[in-house]
Structure 1
Amino acid sequence: MHSGCTAVTAFLRLEDAEGQQSFVPSGFDPLSWDIPTSEDEDEHGGGDNIDASKLGKRKHRLHSALTNLGGGAGFNEAHHAPSTHSQVFTPPESLSVRRVLYCANAGDARGVLCRAGRGIRLTYDHKGSDKQEAKRIMDAGGFVMSGRVNGVLAVTRSLGDSSMKEYVVGAPYTTETELSEEDEFLILACDGLWDVIEDQKAVELVRGIVDPSKAAQFLLEHAYENYSTDNVTVLVVRFRSPPESVRDITA
């Protein structure tokens, strides 16, 4: 039996909230960014010295980049508002950002998010016992026997297993979750853990443990104690400290 556990501190992609305009102030002309003003022209001997083609390309790049931010809403408002090149852009103190967690899985490894103490599964178990997966395999010309693809493989999707790739595909199940203040941590583990514990129970067992490495180790030991017969790998990602009401000061 192989086992392992680990932990990480959350490092997530920060995205501008789609459609928000707070990152581009009303009345600001984005095409004035890094583009010579009349004062700059005077310093360089007048506007005739400016490379018109380079200036046009620069404007085009800025236009494309800002249009992509927030679906272009902030850019369009700012671009069509009255403006002068003498305006100065002051970044807002607080940008509108969101934290987004992306999950993708193929197989029976599982991701469970703790949201205000409630376990939310973000992945999908691709097993022969799943009716939809079994139908897909049979439609492709294979069969499922005793919960296994062609009587051999327990998972219905994976990376590898080329001998059965006609049935055992690698297309992942994906989710996109916008994290909120209620989201505390994420458990990622293979079926060696989930064979012996339910999602909610796993969340409850480690919710109060501050150190994610200790939380992962706790779940690993729980799998051992409950006679898991499969390999066990556990990863805990903590997004914020546990609430004081459930914090385990001894862990």
Structure 2
Amino acid sequence: MDDLGLYAIFDGHSGREVAEYLQSHLFDNILNEPDFWTNPKQAVRRAYKATNDEILEKVVGSRGGSTAVTTILINGEKLIVANVGDSRAVLCRDGVAKQITVDHNPATEKEKDLVESRGGFVLKRPGTVPRVDGQLAMTRAFGDGKLKDHITSEPDIKVKKIDDETDFIILASDGLWKVMSNQEAYDRIGELDDAQEAAEELIEEALSRESYDDVSCIVVVFH
């Protein structure tokens, strides 16, 4: 029997409903896909879309959405990571922090082109960050029914092997990454053995740096 570890950050905006729905349903939808074990990338992609369709139909009207970064650890050896939005996963190995998710930022050419190909636009007002249709500071999210034609819940997915040199993975909302680089986060907790202590240390450091966004963090230690 396979041993599964399920870890996620859901960072809601304009209410909590979408993030709470993801917490209750997204992993179930992924693991219930019939080809999860043979084609996990395809299964995760379908489950993300199906969950977003459920949210748009049952949970929210024109407002409310959430980012997601999900991690499935299989037998302590294989890691399936997917994300939508600007929450991030950073894999820490042999002293080096490597970001393995994509920040779906409207400022990047690829994501801007994606929005425009769906009939939307990216607007940056003075003193603010670029936003889809002048409203949402990310190009991919669950929910956000008012923008559903111009954004997507299509995830970026990576499959990684966990070996003896892999120390831990950090999952965190953008409130952490706005004030700390990937390597700074690794260096801050690299000597800690307790995952809970490490996550709390990163949150406290982000708050001490006056992060103005909410900060959620999980650290998964492999060995």
Secondary structure of 1:12 counterpart: strand
**Structure 2 CA distance for aligned equivalents of residues 224 and 131 of structure 1:** 31
- Name segments (4+ residues, structure 1) moved above 2 Å: none
Tell which has more relative contact order, 1 or 2 (C-alpha 8 A, sep 6+): 1
- TM-score, normalised to structure 2, is 0.64
The match for 1:13 is: 74
Amino acid at match of 1:202: A
Aligned Cα root-mean-square deviation (Å): 1.5
- Which residues of structure 2 form unaligned runs of 5+? 1-70, 125-129
The match for 1:193 is: 176
- TM-score, normalised to structure 1, is 0.57
Q: Matches of residues 37-116 of structure 1 in structure 2 within 5 Å? A: 99-116=77-94
Residue 143 of structure 1 pairs with residue 118 of structure 2: no
**Structure 2 CA distance for aligned equivalents of residues 14 and 216 of structure 1:** 23
Secondary structure of 1:120 counterpart: strand
Residue 173 of structure 1 pairs with residue 151 of structure 2: no
**Structure 1 CA distance for aligned equivalents of residues 195 and 215 of structure 2:** 17
Secondary structure of 1:219 counterpart: helix
Q: Is 2:72–2:80's contact at 8 Å kept on the other side of the alignment?
A: no
Secondary structure of 1:213 counterpart: helix
The match for 1:228 is: 211
Q: How many residues align?
A: 148
2:188 to 180, 200, 205: 205
- State the identity as a percent: 37
- Which residues of structure 1 form unaligned runs of 5+? 1-9, 16-98, 241-251
**Rg larger for:** 1
The match for 2:167 is: 184
- Residue 122 of structure 1: CA displacement? 1.2
2:98 to 113, 120, 123: 120
- Residue 12 of structure 1: CA displacement? 2.9
Secondary structure of 2:142 counterpart: coil
Question: What are the Cα deviations for residues 24-75 of structure 1, in whole angstroms up to 9, with x where unaligned?
Answer: xxxxxxxxxxxxxxxxxxxxxxxxxxxxxxxxxxxxxxxxxxxxxxxxxxxx
Secondary structure of 2:206 counterpart: helix
